[in-house]
A and B are shown apart, each in its own frame.
Chain A
Amino acid sequence: EDVGCALARVGAAWLALVLALIVVPSALGISLGISEAYMWVLVKTLEWATIRIEKGVKKPRPQMLKTPAANGIIERDETPMEKEIARLHRVDFEFSDIFYFCRKGFEAIVEDEVTQRFSSEELVSWNLLTRTNVNFHYISLRLTVVWVIGVIVRYCFLLPLRFTLAAIGITSMIVGTTMVGQLPNSSVKNYLSEVVHLTCSRILVRALSGTIRYHNKENKPQKGGICVANHTSPIDAIILTNDGCYAMVGQVHGGLMGVIQRATVKACPHVWFERSEIKDRHLVTKRLREHVADKSKLPILIFPEGTCINNTSVMMFKKGSFEIGGTIYPVAIKYDPQFGDAFWNSSKYNIVSYLLRIMTSWAIVCNVWYMPPMVRKEGEDAVQFANRVRSAIARQGGLTELPWDGGLKRAKVKDTFKEEQQKNYSKMLVRNGSIG
């Protein structure tokens, strides 16, 4: 019983400390400087670790220190089909024509642009987390000791702390929005809904040890607009709502996410839809149109890629949001993978294991750039507009652009691409040969 009492007292003291030092200040939007101190220590430690690793590598192995993904691991020959299958003499077909397709095929097997985007980015230098220890080897005793200390700090101190904060944040979000949802529609309700969302987002950002830098705040999305951003994880939404209020558009989920979704939609007109439901898709389009027409409504937040990508590139934007006509506010989000991997590989981890991984990382560090609003130009169709916005986001965030659909994570590629290649090759045969 004494043990029980003692534990209860310790628990209460712990909770009080957390509330006083973290929850209340973050709810009020002020900072006590604890996070900054933590980040400073973390950065210094990782810098030290990088230097030790560089020194410890006996053979000069530059590939360990150069980002592999940037250049790829093999030389890719980008000469187009027409030039490569250049004719030596006027014959329509040659046996060597297959070499082009053959090599392209093997290049894709060794390394392709698409599938690598659905798994986490490789790090330039080890960040003292076991999970990223793919190509790094034992260097020195000191480094290992620091790593062990890191494990203890992360699992025994940070994880319980973050878990407490997340629990507080999520519970407040659910309870708060449900309560606000009971009120009749009015400006008071909207105001309170904004307060609840902002406060809980701030608590949740602390729960992830999030360090977010917002750039160009003058371009923040305005009411009646549509905010589009590249998608890396469900956390993107929290990162953005930490700095403003949005009406979110997203896929319906089960479990805890579903509970949160059902609660928040009572207070704020978020749009949660079932991807496979056609009538839901029409509903989304209809809601977007209504929203854009009404300048007093909160900006809509939508992720046009439709799925999580690993934050090294921006994949094809679905044209739905760009057909509405309305002002698009592009936002680029770039995470720093050195401190923690934010990418949610939904085929490998479910949401709970994902959150656990996030909470046992060092921190979530990211940059958010608000970009100047864009509208559809004369004579531009929705797809071209979507591509233009995508290029702008990719350029700002330092990401590569890929014309591939993020849906390839789960679905097969369409045959039309193969048919296009076949068509191009056929044109070459017919042009050069003397076919009657």
Chain B
Amino acid sequence: AVSHSQITRLYSRFTSLDKGENGTLSREDFQRIPELAINPLGDRIINAFFPEGEDQVNFRGFMRTLAHFRPIEDNEKSKDQNGPEPLNSRSNKLHFAFRLYDLDKDDKISRDELLQVLRMMVGVNISDEQLGSIADRTIQEADQDGDSAISFAEFVKVLEKVDVEQKMSIRFLH
């Protein structure tokens, strides 16, 4: 479980971002963070906080989304083995990343969706042609059932050697 002091800190952070002081954050509140505004995937990351397409997120929703980034070793401390899978399990972290690609939420990453993310990350520096061939190669390597799209299972397989736990975790100092 998250410690009391961590919740206090995060609540303090939430209120400092909430310029409208109405208990919820809007997309503009996130965009005011310069380090996030210059992140190539900034818009996608902000979208992750507004899952159902609403415009405001409250503190609960804020914490829920952040929970995906808790280190996995935190789970060993909690004894609830029979409860639902925690949000920061390897599988849920991967699912979170999958959803950053899968914009239309059809549980498949299509060539177009992959191209969109690639374009966000490279800006204007690579031509459409080159980007297209990168996308094609990537899908070809990962696609196992030949439908020219990546399902979640194929996604997990491609990333099986990657240390997801380390790359997708944020540790508190206290």
A88–B170 CB distance below 8 A:
no
Interface check A276, CB cutoff 8 A: no
Q: A422-B122, A426-B126 are in contact. Are A433 and B158 (CB under 8 A)?
A: no
CB distance from B81 to the nearest CB of A (A): 27
Q: A63-B174, A106-B66, A425-B40 are in contact. Are A408 and B118 (CB under 8 A)?
A: no
Interface check B87, CB cutoff 8 A: no
A109–B36 CB distance below 8 A:
yes
Q: Could you say which of A150-158, A334-342, A411-419 contacts chain B?
A: A411-419
Interface check B125, CB cutoff 8 A: yes
Interface check B146, CB cutoff 8 A: no
B37–A115 CB distance below 8 A:
no
Q: How far is the CA of A18 from the CA of B134 in the complex (A)?
A: 79
Q: A63-B174, A119-B16, A429-B122 are in contact. Are A98 and B37 (CB under 8 A)?
A: no
Q: How many B residues are at the interface, by size bracket?
A: 35 or more
A110–B170 CB distance below 8 A:
yes
Q: A92-B134, A95-B138, A102-B97 are in contact. Are A74 and B173 (CB under 8 A)?
A: yes
CB distance from A163 to the nearest CB of B (A): 30
Considering only CB atoms, which chain B residue lies closest to A408 in the complex?
Answer: B34
Considering only CB atoms, which chain B residue lies closest to A427 in the complex?
Answer: B125
Q: How far is the CA of A422 from the CA of B40 in the complex (A)?
A: 7
B 125-136 binary contact with A (CB < 8 Å = 1; else 0): 110001001100
Interface check B27, CB cutoff 8 A: no
Contacts of B137 in A (CB 8 A): 91-93
A98–B161 CB distance below 8 A:
no
Interface check B30, CB cutoff 8 A: yes
CB distance from B72 to the nearest CB of A (A): 14
Please name 8 pairs of A and B residues whose Cβ atoms are closer than 8 Å in the assembled complex, sorted by A. A91-B138, A92-B137, A95-B159, A109-B45, A412-B31, A417-B38, A418-B123, A433-B134
Apart from A96-B162, A115-B16, list 12 A-B contacts with CB within 8 A: A75-B172, A102-B45, A103-B168, A106-B45, A107-B35, A110-B66, A115-B17, A412-B31, A422-B124, A423-B125, A426-B125, A429-B126
A interface residues (Cβ-Cβ under 8 A, vs B): 61-63, 66, 68, 71-75, 88, 91-116, 119, 134-135, 404, 408, 412-413, 417-419, 421-423, 425-427, 429-430, 433, 435
B interface residues (Cβ-Cβ under 8 A, vs A): 5, 8-10, 12-13, 16-17, 30-42, 45, 66, 69, 97, 100-101, 117-118, 121-126, 130, 133-134, 137-138, 141-142, 150, 155, 158-159, 161-162, 164, 167-174
> Can you list the 4 inter-chain pairs with the closest CB atoms, starting with the nearest?
A422-B123, A426-B125, A108-B35, A105-B45
